[in-house]
Structure 1
Amino acid sequence: MAKDRLTPQQNELTRNGAFHLNKDNMLVTSNDEFLLGYKVDPKTDQVTSYEAEPIEVRAEYGVPEATQNVELGANLPASAEENDPTLFNFNDETTYDRATSVTVTDSKGQSYKMTTYYLKSSNPATPNTWNAFYTLTDGQGEKPLNIEAGDTTAANGHVGHSITFKNDGTFNQVNGGAPVKTVDFATAGIDMNDADPAQAINMKLGTHTSFAAPFEITKLDEDGAMPGFLTKVDFDEAGNVLGTYSNGKNVNLGRVALVRVANEQGLDKKGGTQWDSTSASGEKIWGESNKGSFGTVNNGTLEQSNIDMTQELVDLISAQRNFQANSRALDVHNQLQQNILQIR
C-alpha cells in the first residue's frame, strides 16, 4: 500500500484485501491508501517489471471499430421445407426457413442488427442448395442489404447468394465460388449519423453444414467494437485485476504486488492491519501470486481466525473462577481486619 500515488516507493504491507474504487478510479484500501501492482504484457500475460505502482481501473475501454468481417457458421437441416428464392421477402416468414442475427458497428461505434435469412432452394436443377439474404436494421427499421455480384435475386430486387453442399452434407461453396461482400451501407440507405458511408461487410461462411440435425449456430464472430463502460472489477488466483466492460471485453488491468520478508515477526505494526519492514524483518522481497514461495490470491474469501474458540472459552471460565477466588480472599482478609480492630 502507498499513501501517496506519486511516491509508491514509500509503502506498507497489509493482509486486508478489502479494496474499493475512489473518485479517481484507483483501487484503495478503507484508509484510502493505494493498492500497488505490476503492469502485465497483454500478449504474454507476463509481468513486464517488478516496479510496483498504483493500480488504476479505467472507467471506459476501447475505441469504435467498424465491422469489416463477419464469420458465420450454422447447420442447415437437410429435412427443411423447400422455398422459391425468387419469392423471398423478409417480412413474410413463410418465404424462408431459418434466420439469425448479429450486432455490427460502424466507425462511430453505433450498433445495428444484421440479420441472415436462410431458405432451402426448391429448384430441382440445384440440389443440396440453400440461399441466404441479409438485412440491416437502423433507427428507421429493417432494410435489405444486398450482396455485390450475388448469384440469387428475389423478385423484389433483394440480392443474396447460394450456399451449396456436397452429398454428405459438408460445405461445398458459396455464391458460385465468388466472395460474399455486401454493398456499402450508403448504397443500402442506412442512416449512419455521418459515420463512414463506405463501410461494407465481408461474409465468411465456410463452416456451414447441412446434416440431418436441427438448425444450430456453430460459429458467430465479428471484428467490430464499440466503447465499453466498466461494469465489474474482479481478481483471479494469479492476482490479476480484471475489468469487465459493457462491450463484452474483459481486460487485465494489472497484477497485485505481493511482498515477503525473511522474518515476519520482525515487522513493525503500523495500525489499521498494516505493517512495515524493519532491520529485524529484513528487506521487502517483491513478487507475484503463484510464483516461488509466494502464495495464491483468493478472491471473495475471508481469512479464517487462528483462535481456538473452545480453548479460549475454557481459559475464560478459568480466569473467571480465579477472579472469584481472589475476590473471596479479599473479602475474608477485610473481615479479619475488622475483627482485629474490634478486639482492640
Structure 2
Amino acid sequence: MKARIWLTGFEPFGEHVENPSKILVERILGTRQTNEIKEIPPYGLESESVELSYSGCILTVDEAGSGESLNHLSDVDAVIHVGLNEKAQKIRLEMCAINELNFRIADNSGRETKEGFIDENGLPLLHTTAHRPSISHAFSNNEFVEISEDCGRFVCNETYYRTLNFIEKSGLQSRGRALPALFVHIPPFESIPEDQQLELFSELCARIVQKPIVQVVGGVLINSSQQILACRRASDQVMSGHWEFPGGKVEANETPIDALKRELNEELGLVVEVGNMIETVVHDYGSMIVKISFFTCQIDGQKLTPIVHDECRWVTASESNSLNWLPADIEFVQRLAQKGFEEL
C-alpha cells in the first residue's frame, strides 16, 4: 500500500530557541519510508506494509502559518500537523479543534488575541476526520501516548481548526472518505527521546492512511413460515431507519460464533444455536471497510425482545425486497430472495 502525507511542524515561538516539532518533521519531510505494522483486534488493516511519502513545510507561528496548508491538500491521503506542548509528558493525539482564539502569549507576529473566533461563521467544535475508534484503540495501551480533547487556544488549535474547517466546507476527500486530518502535540525530547517519538509517529502515519477493517457477524433467523427476521435501526443509531440483520462487531479474542450469540442476546434477548455460515460480504463504507459473515440461527420459538432496534419484522422473500436495507446487506438479501428462503 502506498500513501502520501502532508506533514507540518512549527518554528520556535515564545521563549523557545528550538521547537521539537520542527526538528521531528524536518527529519521526515521529503522522504519515502516503508512502515511495517500489525493489526490490533478488533480492527484489521488494509495492509501491514505501508510505503509513505512525505511532503509539507514548517509553519510560521501566526495567522498566515495557520492557513498555509490549505492550498496543498488536494493530492494527499492524510494531513498531520505536529506542534509542541511544553507541559506535556506524553504524545497527545488531539481529537478536536475549538473555534476559539485565546492566547496567553503573543504569536510570532505579535498578535495576542483574547476571546476571539477563528471563523465567525464556523461551527464551535470540529472533530478529527481520522477514524477515531481505530486510532484510539491502536495506542490505548501505549504508555507514551494519550488521547486529548483539548488542543488549547493558541496557533496549534487555530491551524487544526482551519484545516478541518476547510476539509468540511470543500468536501475534500481521499478514497471516498473525508481527508483524514489529525493534530499531534509532542512533549519536549527530555520527556520522550526524539528517536522514540519518531518511531511512534511513523506508526501513527501508517495507520491513519488506512481504512480500518471491521469484522461483523449477522444472524439470519428464519421461522416455520419461511420468513426471515429484519430489524430496523432506531433513531439514535447511525443510519437510522435502515433495516439489517441482527448482529454486530466481533470483539478482540472473540470467535464469530461467540460474537453472534452475544449480540443476539444483547439485541433481542435470545439464546440461539448458530448454524452454518452462509456467506461473507465485504463492503466499503468510506471511513471503514466492513467484513460481514452471515450465519443461519435457530431460536426455537423464543419471544423476541427488541432492545436496540425500534422494529423487528418477519418478512417473506418478496417483502424483503421492499425494505430499505443497509448498503452492505442489499445484494446479500437479493441473493437470498432469489434462491428462496426455504433453501436456508
Please confirm whether the aligned pair reaches a TM-score higher than 0.5, indicating the same fold: no
- Pair member with larger Rg: 1
> What TM-score do the two structures reach when normalised by structure 2?
0.22
